[in-house]
Every structure is written in C-alpha cells, then in structure tokens.
Amino acid sequence: MNKKLTDRNVACLLAAIAAVTCVVLALMGRVWWCELGDLSPWSWDIWSSHNSQHLIDPYALSHLQHGIGLFLLLSACCRQCLSVQVRMLTVAFIEAAWEIAENTPLIINRYREVTISLDYFGDSILNSLSDYVMCLLGVLLVRKTNWKTGLMVFIALEISSLLWIRDSLMLNMLMLAVPIEAVKEWQAL
C-alpha cells in the first residue's frame, strides 16, 4: 500500500483544518461576519471597526507572507525529512493555530497595548478563514515557482505594506515581541 499523501488527501486535510478552526472560533464566541452589518467583502481602513471583520483587509498581505515565509523556512530546514505535502500541512496547521491564538483575550489585549491596533477586538470567523486561505496561496506560490520568487514576493509585500498602512508582518512581529514607542508613533501619523 502506498503511504504517500496524495493531493486529494492533502486537500481534504486542509479543508478539515479550516473546518475545525471555524468551529473552535465559533465556540470561542467569535462572530461570523462584521457586527456592524456592512456586507462589503473588503475593508481597506485599518483604523475602522471594520478592520479584520470582512473577507479581505490590508493584513491579508501578511497572511500571504505567512505562507511564503513558513514554507520557505520549512523547505530550507526540513526538505530532506518532510515531503512537500507534509510541509504544506504543517504550514496550514501553524496558520490555523495562529488564527485561534490571535482571537484569544491574551493576544487581542497584547495587540491593543503595544501596536497601532488600539480598536482591535479580534477577527470575524470569515476573516480568519480568508487569512487561512491567503496563507495557503502563499504556499502555493512558492510550490509553483521557486524559493527566489517566493522571497522576492515576500519582500515586495513587506515594502508595500509599510508604504500603504505603515505596518507589515515583520514590523507587527517586532512590535508584539519588543514594542518600540518611536515605531508606534510613526505608525500613528
């Protein structure tokens, strides 16, 4: 019997991870969609109550970077011992775990204390699901191209986010770990 994961098996497991994530978020009391009743699929204003409540927002770019960065890291460290399918599932699991952790009071309060996200109250379930899909698209990008293209896209997204919203994946990670008041002030301009 062939024990190798097929693309169909991986797709089923990715869907299962997404479904479990949605159930856990629902059990945590997360709303499915923007409580303000706006049916728009996107919200571009990071300073509004709509941020992280719709399918797409500026932070979707950072979730694309999650997929690119995590897949590149796993490929660099574990190419010999983990198949492409297992690396992809590992990234999906990490992203799903982050989507759950990001919506806990601990992380929500941390964002509100040390980043520009003063009015952050967590993500809607559909926003978290969209973030998960964006992460998988990042993985797919690297799988269908190569590590150099993935790295270039990662850097381009980082720069684009900094110019657009004065925030980015790397800056967000820095501010969560080691808040820098000067950075917070620059972001608030």
CB atoms inside a 10 Å sphere around CB 28: 13
Query: Tell me: the pLDDT tens digits for 61-107?
Result: 999 999 999 999 999 999 899 999 999 999 999 999 999 999 999 99
Residues 90, 72, 3: CA angle, nearest 5 degrees: 40
**Residue 1 — pLDDT band, cuts 50, 70, 90?**
very low
Place of tokens 């919203």: 165
Rounded Cα distance between 77 and 80, Å, is: 8
Q: Where are the domains of the chain?
A: 7-33+44-188
Q: Rounded to 5 degrees, what angle do the CA atoms 73, 74, 78 make?
A: 125
Containing 65, the helix (H) or strand (E) segment is: helix 60-78
Mean of the pLDDT values across residues 141-154?
Answer: 97
pLDDT at 3: 62
- 80: its two tokens: 């010999």
| Token pair belonging to 166 | 């004065």
Residue range 137-161: average pLDDT?
Answer: 97
How much of the chain is helix, strand and coil, in % rounded to 5? 65, 0, 35
What is the predicted pLDDT for the residue at 61? 97
Which residues touch 5 (CB under 8 Å, ≥6 apart)? 13, 83, 85, 86, 89
pLDDT in tens, 8-34: 999 999 999 999 999 999 999 999 998
